[in-house]
Chain A
Amino acid sequence: MDFHQLWTIFSTPDNVPIVLLLFVVPFYTWYAFRQAFANDRLIGQLEADPALAKTSHRKTQAWKPGWTKEVHVWPYLLRIEFLAAIIVTVILMVWSITLNAPLEEPANPTLTMNPAKAPWYFLGLQEMLVYFDPWMAGVVFPSLIIIGLMVIPYIDTNPLGNGYYTFKQRKFSILTFIFGFIVLWVSMIVIGTIIRGPGWMWFWPGVTWDHNRLIFEVNRDLPDLFGIKGRIGKLIFGAIVMGIYFVGAWIGMHKLITRTPFNRKIYSRMSLLQYSVMQVFLILMLLLPVKMLLRLVFRIKYVWITPWFNI
């Protein structure tokens, strides 16, 4: 256990945001889910008692008859905004006084940094470079993430859970988002910051970053494992494997989407276009963990080899 190495990683000023993320993301997840479960209990009560549902004000917040539904922005909101501004200023000031922004040597194209890391918020993309070629990891996937986020409101046909925390009423969408945001995005940033060392090699926390370390790991291509040699053979084989993946993932996702009666109800509200767009984005998102597994566990580099691109 090399505590000095750990300390070097955690105390690098540019890594402080990730250390912050390690605390802040779990905290807010817990904070949101606590409210979601409280609302879910209320929903359960109201569903069991239709008479109560008619009279209840339907919030977990305290309520007394005679209270107005709305309050004046001046002063009830503005004072909070003012306070928030002061607190943020203080945090930023303290942070800036205690920690200095990093400044390395002057830029030198002849001296490569090892590891050369992107800013922390792009480490997820950089980590993807391990699993995909740059055109996928650097261009296609970022575009898909942006477009995929944009289409969310247009493919989510579930009318429930608009304006309040809930888990019970939106299990599928919330789990999908948490998978994308926390499991993929945040954890890949954490891997990229804490675990990836020189040569972008995997160093478990506490292992010294050895610049001379070599890993003898033969990366294989899937067609080679099946003894397929020719270019055309590899092209066709890869296309078949990708086709099987797409069909299999489509069927699996469909099973998931239509698993419960409630899910089927939401599914019946979707147009064919909405459903197909959702499927395509889900399958492409799933491609990342599948490829991670293939690469990290089975040391498979490419599945589909063509003269123009490799996946």
Chain B
Amino acid sequence: MAETDGKNGAPPAAGTPAGSNGNGKNGKGKVTALLEGGKVVRERAAEELKALKQPEKTDLWKSVLRVKHDETPRSRALGVLSNVFLHLHPAKINRDAVAYKYTWGMGGMTFYVYITLVFTGTLLMFYYHPSKVVAFRDILYLEHDVPFGKLLRNMHRWGAHLMVIMVELHMFRVFLTGSYKPPRQFNWVVGVLLLVLTLLLSFTGYLLPDDQLGFWAVTVGTNMARATPLLGNDGPFGHLLGMTPFNDVRFGLLGGSIVDANALLRAYIWHCVAIPIIASTFMVVHFWRVRKDGGISGPAPVMLESEIKEPRKL
């Protein structure tokens, strides 16, 4: 605006003959010119403001979204395909698949809950030290002194529970619709791994508040590792491989023979770094394969028994 102001304001001022004429007359001409210049600026501003009523036509909008905003099928498709956050979607999907009753939306909602968990978890990491001395006090501090700290912790905890429930229901739905059948067999396997990773994520988080609940849950949990056949000191055939409480699989999990400072640190690193990276990687593969295997499985037209083809012989 400042630039146009100068541009339109300048010519009348420059156009007036250099100040040799009468003072009053010259002054009056300058005022008129200024007013006229102002009027032009106002009109231009009004015109440009009017253009802003359609922001999607501006260069700024186009530079961000890359695609024209109109209601042509091409633009709608490109709006999804050329957007990094949306591009895992196809441009078009089965008309009946958008209805809630087929997919229950469980897979997508699981992913959304995972994102909220990453978000709240990152915020929680600002207030937490994985050390036996302060871990429990950090939680108390978080609950009583950090603004919204209690809400943050609650959301992380209940979000984790919600995610486990949703993953199980997602698996239930996928089974009942037979969606693991060819060509999607392998994606089911990836899904099972993601279920295991979800449970492990939840379980490693259980110890972090360093309270009685987490301590005993992890004690019970890792005591089972002691009984691993061959690899645990208490398990069948464990002693044949020279397993003791100080070199078996439980020792590896806890970083010691008891649930103590090292176990807390290990749980923290698994929970905040390692498993999220592994799980995210598998999620990428999972979503990628959903697309590559032909999108979501249905609702497909029903197949009749009489239409079963003979299996291909090897």
B-binding residues in A (CB < 8 A): 14, 16-17, 20-21, 24-25, 28, 31-32, 35-36, 39, 42-43, 46-47, 53, 57-59, 61, 67-78, 80-81, 84-85, 88-89, 91-93, 95-97, 99-109, 111-113, 116-122, 125-126, 129, 133-135, 137-140, 146, 149-150, 152-154, 156-166, 169-170, 174, 177, 181, 262, 265, 269, 308-309
Contacts and interface: CB of A to CB of B under 8 A. Distances in A.
A47 B92 CA distance: 31
Contact of B309 (A17, A91, A159): A159
Main secondary structure of the interface of A (DSSP, over half): helix
A133 to B, nearest CB: 7
Interface pairs A-B: 7 shortest CB-CB: A138-B224, A163-B300, A163-B298, A58-B301, A153-B185, A96-B154, A107-B215
Interface string B201-236: 011001001111111110111011111110010111
A269 B311 contact: yes
A102 B89 contact: no
Nearest to B139: A103
Given A81-B108, A163-B179, A164-B302, A104 B235 contact: no
B176 A32 contact: yes
Contacts of A308: 236-237
B246 interface: no
Contacts of B172: 25, 28, 32, 181
Given A21-B165, A139-B224, A162-B300, A107 B79 contact: no
B30 interface: no
Given A81-B108, A92-B158, A104 B212 contact: yes
Contacts, number: 294
Contacts of B232: 135, 139
B48 to A, nearest CB: 29
Contacts of A61: 95-96, 99, 299
A153 B188 contact: yes
Contact of B112 (A47, A85, A138, A177): A85
B161 A117 contact: no
A88 B92 contact: no
A303 B153 CA distance: 47
B211 A106 contact: yes
Contacts of A93: 155
Contact of B229 (A80, A135, A163): A135
Given A109-B259, A157-B311, A164-B302, A73 B93 contact: yes
Nearest to B94: A70
A191 to B, nearest CB: 16
A81 B93 CA distance: 14
Nearest to B236: A309
Contacts of B300: 162-164
